[in-house]
Amino acid sequence: MARSFQAVVIGVSTGGVSALAKLLGQLPAEFPLPILIVQHIGPNAGSGLVKLLGERCLLRVKEADEQDEILPGTVYLAPANYHLLVEHGGFLALSADPHVSFARPSVDVLFESAAEVFGPDLIGVVLTGANFDGSRGLRTIKERGGVAIVQDPADAEAQQMPQAALAATGVDYVVALNGLAALLQELASQCATSPRQRGGRDD
């Protein structure tokens, strides 16, 4: 199917720092899609994760600010204590609404709002984690025609989050962390070579 992906969203919890460092470290500087990430962090976490990931990869990594324009080849991390959402028009939004799925930032909030805006042009990825956040969001991504990827639970430091996602929805790929960067690049390059198909939607 020819499509034109517009973003990758990633949800990750326990074990996330090393998983993200590994994944992002394997992506080339010219990776064409924006990557939006919710990593569960405590309410008082500083910007240490942004710095650490920035040092481990070739992409630009930043903490998401309200009204940031979503740019290709940039990694946006949800700030501690705020939900990260996608707004129509390709902008980010933050919210201090109550916790969702026991988390703030919550993966479900990011996934659902991104699915809303990007529809089939979205790639959703659930990685290691010891809770259930992200499974409802991944199901929404699938319902909107997007692509769902889940880390193979056997490969994950904490299996519960990938398992919950697999139980919640049919997914397109179950992969080990090691193969994920290559898969994302392959999916992203399809969008570079195939003409933009809008499937009857016009905007």
Partner 1 sequence: MKHAEVADVEIRLLLEGVQQIYGYDFRDYAAASIKRRLTHWLAESAFDTFSQAQSRLLREREVFESLLRGITVNVTEMFRDPEFFRAMREQVVPFLKTYPFVKIWHAGCATGEEAYSMAILLNEEGMAGRYRIYATDINETVLQKASEGVMPIMEMQRFTRNYQKSGGSASFADYYTARYDRAILSAALKKHIVFAPHNLAVDGEFGEMNMVLCRNVMIYFKPALKERCLRLFDSSLLPGGFLCLGLKETLEKRQVGEHYAELSPPLRIYRKRYG
Among the listed residues 94, 126, 166, 168, the single contact to partner 1 using CB under 8 A: 94
Catalytic residue among 13, 101, 106, 113: 13
CA distances from 165 to 28, 59, 78, 80, 180 (A): 28, 27, 20, 23, 17
Helix axes 16-25, 48-56, angle to 10 degrees: 30
Active-site residue 40, yes or no? yes
Q: In what order do the strands lie in the sheet with 74-77?
A: 60-63, 74-77, 35-39, 7-12, 122-126, 147-151, 173-175
**Does the protein bind partner 1 through residue 77 (CB under 8 A)?**
no
Please tell me whether residue 146 binds partner 1 under the rule CB under 8 A: no
User: Token pair for residue 101?
Assistant: 């799925």
Specify the residue, 96 or 167, whose C-beta has the smaller distance to partner 1.
96
202 among known catalytic residues: no
Among 68, 121, 133, 155, the one annotated catalytic: 133
96 binds partner 1 (CB under 8 A): yes
Closest CB 150 distance from partner 1, rounded Å: 24
Q: What angle do CA 46, 50, 54 make, to 5 degrees?
A: 150
d(CA 108, CA 98): 13
Peptide bond into 28 cis (omega under 30): no
Is 83 catalytic? The answer is: no
Pick between residue 25 and residue 90 the one whose CB is nearest to partner 1.
Answer: 90
Residues 180-199 that bind partner 1 (CB under 8 A): 199
Q: Footprint of partner 1 on this chain (CB under 8 A)? A: 65-67, 79, 82, 85-88, 93-98, 109, 112-113, 116-117, 119, 144-145, 199, 201
As annotated, the active-site residues are 13, 40, 133
